[in-house]
Structure 1
């Protein structure tokens, strides 16, 4: 099969299309002919050697997210058959014509979606649901501030928060404000020209928001704490602005009853990942059908041979939503 292989860590040009061995199907695996694969920030970190090893433990091939058709299955698989259209999260191996996936990490693709849009769902929507609903316990009537709202997880989080009935504040680049509002943000904030903490204080009459979902890290931490209401929850999903060290007056945590929660899918146990997929599937999967459906946000699609260009697009931070790799364009519908 054709796949993207890493001969060395480095710039996007290290991504090379080459021949690779077909994956071996284990008892709990589906073997999937991949038609589309999502590009994620973790892929950039992987490519640069940021994880300190060449793979995610399940494949030496890069990539975490697939959409395609089942062509074989292991003896322990339940609920899937050969021929099914599936999408899901893999432990590496997505940038390839064939990939194996633990069936408990897979979901059936809603009938109305093609493979490109399906590949834009698993990683970002599962992560957004976990942060918003499971960890932050967002409910109708709450208010939430979502950073990096035009990105993959951010754009998913805005939609889920809106669908939950929350008031949504969202930060993004000024050129993307209208798009973020279209996704469901009540107030879109240009992070380059406005201080989001000041906007929150003004819009909420000093109360603050119930939940903050942050992907930036240290540069936003103090203002995130300031923007929280009594009993508020900060969920740290990423550190795009750098990790570093942060400080907070413990009195704020104590007397304002605040909670600071960290989450990342990659370091979860396999059973925890299964539970994350199940929670998302049961709560939201049928909402990708119908007139008021959730919207997989696709920024752009590149053929597998142009994986380096897809990475450059993500590194530019100009994308709104997901960047997708396609394997067989004639079969995408």
Structure 2
């Protein structure tokens, strides 16, 4: 099969198309002919050596989400058939013509959804559901602030929050705010020109919001705590702004009864990843066929141009998902 490989960590140019052996099907695997693969920020970290030469469970190759057709199955597989259209999160190996996925991590591609759109669903919507609903307990009538709202997970979170009946505040670059509003944000905040904490205080008459979902960390942390209402929840999903130890105002934390959660999917045990996938499937999957939820695709690149896809991600100009097509 053809797949993207690299011998040295470094710039996008290290990514090269290569001829590699087909994956070996294990008892619990579906072997999928990949029609589209999502590009994630974790792939960029993989390329520069953040994870070393780790085996993420399915492959040492890059790529964490796929959409395609089942062409072979292991002996322990249940509920799936050859020819089924599937999408899902994999433990590596997505940047290839063939990939294996644990059948309990696979999701059926909703009717009316094409492969490129399907590849833009699993990682971002499963992560957004976990942050907003499972951990954040977002309810109808509440207020939520979503940072990096034009990112893959951010654009999914905006849609899910709106579908939950919440009032949605969202931060993004000014050039991306119109698209973020189209996805459901009630109030867009240009983080390059506006202090979001001040904007939240003004918009909520000093109360703050019920929930914040943050992918940035760093200098955002203190301002996030200052932007929460009594009993407010902060779910930290990423550290795009750095992972240095923030200053925590313990008086605010205690007297305002705040809750802080941290979550990451990659390092969780397989059983927990399967539970996350099931929670998303049971709650939201049917809404893609109805049009309530939309996969947001920024751009599509041929597999051989994976380096260009990474350059697009690192430009920080994208809105939604970047997708590869073998």
TM-score (structure 2 length as normaliser):
0.99
In structure 2, distance between residues paired with 1:5 and 1:54? 14
Q: What's the counterpart of residue 316 of structure 1?
A: 315
1:173-192 deviation per Cα after TM superposition (whole angstroms, max 9, x unaligned): 00011000000000000001
Q: Report how far residue 64 of structure 1 moved.
A: 0.3
State how far apart, in whole Å, the 1-side matches of 2:58 and 2:70 are.
18
User: What aligned pairs does 1:236-251 form with structure 2 within 5 A after superposition?
Assistant: 236-251=236-251
Q: How many residues align?
A: 326
Shift of 1:253: 1.2
- In the other structure, the counterpart of 2:300 is 301
Return the offset for 1:248: 1.0
Q: How far off its partner does 1:53 sit?
A: 2.5
Residue 213 of structure 1 corresponds to: 213
1:218 deviates by 1.2
CA distance in 1 between counterparts of 2:35 and 2:10 reads 26
Corresponding residue number in structure 2 for 1:137: 137
The answer to whether 1:46 aligns with 2:55 is: no
Looking at structure 1, the residues matched to 227 and 249 of structure 2 have their Cα atoms a distance apart, in angstroms, of: 14
1:93-242 alignment runs, 5 A limit = 93-242=93-242
2:20 aligned residue: 20
Aligned partners of 1:57 and 1:91 also within 8 Å: yes
Give the RMSD, CA atoms, in angstroms. Answer: 0.7
Q: CA–CA distance in 2 between the matches of 1:256 and 1:74?
A: 52
CA contact (8 A) 2:58 2:100 kept: no
Rounded Cα–Cα distance in structure 2 between residues aligned with 1:312 and 1:218: 24
- Provide the secondary structure at the position in 1 that maps to 2:9: coil
Q: CA deviation at 1:241?
A: 0.8
2 CA distance for matches of 1:91 and 1:18?
20
Hey, what's the Cα distance between the residues in 1 that align with 2:66 and 2:264? 19
Structure 2 match to 1:253 = 253
Mapped contact 1:46–1:55 kept (Cα < 8 A): no
Q: TM (normalized to structure 1)?
A: 0.97
Hey, what does 1:71 align to over in structure 2? 71
Gaps of 5+ in 2: none
Moved over 4 A (4+): none
**Quick one: distance in 1 between partners of 2:115 and 2:52?**
32
CA distance in 1 between partners of 2:181 and 2:256 (Å): 30
Q: Distance in 1 between matches of 2:141 and 2:77?
A: 40
Match of 1:325 in 2: 324
Measured in 2, the distance between the counterparts of 1:118 and 1:301 equals 13
Taking the aligned partners of 1:138 and 1:151, their CA distance within structure 2 comes to 20
Match of 2:81 in 1: 81
- SS where residue 318 of structure 2 aligns? coil
Q: Does the 8 A contact of 1:144 with 1:210 survive in 2?
A: yes
Equivalent residue of 1:218, what SS?
coil
Larger mean CA deviation between 54-63 and 165-174 belongs to: 54-63
CA contact (8 A) 2:172 2:191 kept: yes
SS in 1 for 2:145: strand
Write the distance in 2 (CA, Å) between the matches of 1:55 and 1:46.
Answer: 11
What is the DSSP-based 3-state SS (H/G/I as helix, E as strand, rest coil) of the residue aligned with 1:112? coil
Mapped contact 1:155–1:321 kept (Cα < 8 A) = yes
User: 3-state DSSP class of the match of 2:10?
Assistant: coil
Q: Which residue of 2 aligns with 1:331?
A: none
CA distance in 1, matches of 2:260, 2:43: 26
Q: Is the 8 A contact 1:216 1:241 kept in 2?
A: yes
Contact 2:265/2:273 (CA < 8 Å) preserved in 1?
Answer: yes
- Is contact 1:237-1:264 (8 Å) kept? yes
Q: CA deviation at 1:54?
A: 4.2
In structure 2, C-alpha distance between the alignment counterparts of 1:139 and 1:8, rounded to whole Å: 47
